[in-house]
Amino acid sequence: MIIKSKSIKSKANLSNVLRYILVGHDLTDSGFVLSRAIRGDRKYHKELEQSKGNSMLETAVLEARIDNMLTQFETNNDKRLIPHKNGNRAYHEIISFHTNDSKNLSREAMLDVARTYAKERSPNSLVVASMHRNREHLHIHVIVSAVELGGKVKRLSKNQFRELKQTMERYQEKYLKLEHSRVNHSKKKNHRF
């Protein structure tokens, strides 16, 4: 698996990324939305299920869900123990699998990857993740708050990020047993699939 990370510095960018990962994708039948520490999100999930077939209602519920998530990310960001004017609000991370392995990955396996990644990446932070099938390969978009629930900034160094990638590679090897999605995350140049 390939894992990439991009920082999100503005409220507008966070809103755009939330909208991108949640809007226009079939997330109820074949995909999923994972939210951790987002208060009230189950209510929106149920309302989305009930609004299937009514596109106006579905759009309204989805917009309310995005606003709720954005408000909680912003409120959490305001709790920084050490305020920083231009600090990262969140990180947009993408976990991708090789096209040839995508057909062997179930929704449940991808959901487990997202849960494992969230736990390993930042167990005390707000997280929103969703699976996308809009390309030839399956991938998961993850938004992780840059500030933990207690106000501590959660930033990974290059070495910590490499260790996280290696942890996820071991997870993939043990539980997913994928043939084509192996990546060497050593200090040397990556050997990508």
Classified as helix, coil or strand, 150 is: coil
Q: Tens of pLDDT along the chain (193 residues)?
A: 999 999 999 999 999 999 999 886 555 446 788 899 999 888 888 888 888 888 888 889 999 999 999 999 999 999 999 888 888 999 999 999 999 988 889 989 999 999 999 999 999 999 999 998 766 788 999 999 999 999 999 999 999 999 999 999 999 999 998 888 888 766 665 555 5
Torsion region of 191: left, alpha or beta (phi above 0 gives left; psi -120 to 50 gives alpha): beta
Per-residue pLDDT, 135: 66
CB 130 within 8 A of CB 32: yes
Number of domains in the chain: 1
- What DSSP string runs through 36-78? ES-TTHHHHHHHHHHTTT-HHHHHHHHHHHHHHHHHHHHHHHT
Give the CATH number, domain containing residue 40.
3.30.930.30
Per-residue pLDDT, 51: 83
Give the domain range for residue 10: 2-176
pTM reported for the whole predicted model: 0.89
Question: Does a structural domain hold residue 155?
Answer: yes
Q: CA 24, CA 59: separation in Å to the nearest integer?
A: 10
Question: Does a structural domain hold residue 183?
Answer: no
Question: Does a structural domain hold residue 191?
Answer: no
